[in-house]
């Protein structure tokens, strides 16, 4: 009366396999959400579309950034997220760039001898090969208009 059916060992193997697969899926899921690339793009667009000089900041929940003239990519343990800018192209600024002081508030007239040098530096920054950079902190966006050079600088 309490005997196990003849095919019960198949049932136990199936249940054990299903349980192992469910555990594997649960362990493989990321523990954090992907970074907010759309929020970064919205901040950049808000500053870039301003009719006047403007500055904006956005806190980053990412460990890496790949910034281009038309899009941004962010990554962390939760994955990678991408977003395009509606108002571009923007000028990506690295820490070692001559544009870095201008991004953080130095007037372009102080950092550059003339508008031609400023224009050349922005063109060079836009045409640079994109690569992943480590970040921690915030993204800074600054819209500048100086002697006919209108740019939106973006960097960390």
pLDDT at res. 3: 65
Domain residue extents for the chain: 37-155
DSSP string, 13-34: HHHHHHHHHHHHHHHHS-SSPP
**Chunked mean pLDDT (size 10), the chain, 156 residues:** 63 80 74 85 93 91 92 91 91 91 92 92 92 88 91 92
pTM of the model: 0.78
pLDDT at res. 56: 94
DSSP string, 99-142: THHHHTT--HHHH-SSHHHHHHHHHHHHHSPP--EE--SEEEEE
DSSP state of 35: P
């Amino acid at each position: 009366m309490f005997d196990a059916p003849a095919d019960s060992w198949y049932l136990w193997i199936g249940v054990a396999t299903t349980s192992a697969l469910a555990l594997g899926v649960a362990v493989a899921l990321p523990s954090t959400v992907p970074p907010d690339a759309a929020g970064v793009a919205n901040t950049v667009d808000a500053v870039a579309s301003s009719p006047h000089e403007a500055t904006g900041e956005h806190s980053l929940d990412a460990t890496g950034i790949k910034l281009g003239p038309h899009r941004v990519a962010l990554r962390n343990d939760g994955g990678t997220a991408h977003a395009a800018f509606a108002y571009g192209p923007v000028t990506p600024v690295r820490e070692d760039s001559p544009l870095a002081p201008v991004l953080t508030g130095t007037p372009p007239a102080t950092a550059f001898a003339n508008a031609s040098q400023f224009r050349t530096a922005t063109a060079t920054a836009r045409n640079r090969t994109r690569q992943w950079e480590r970040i921690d902190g915030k993204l800074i966006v600054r819209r500048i208009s100086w002697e006919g050079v209108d740019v939106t600088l973006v960097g960390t």
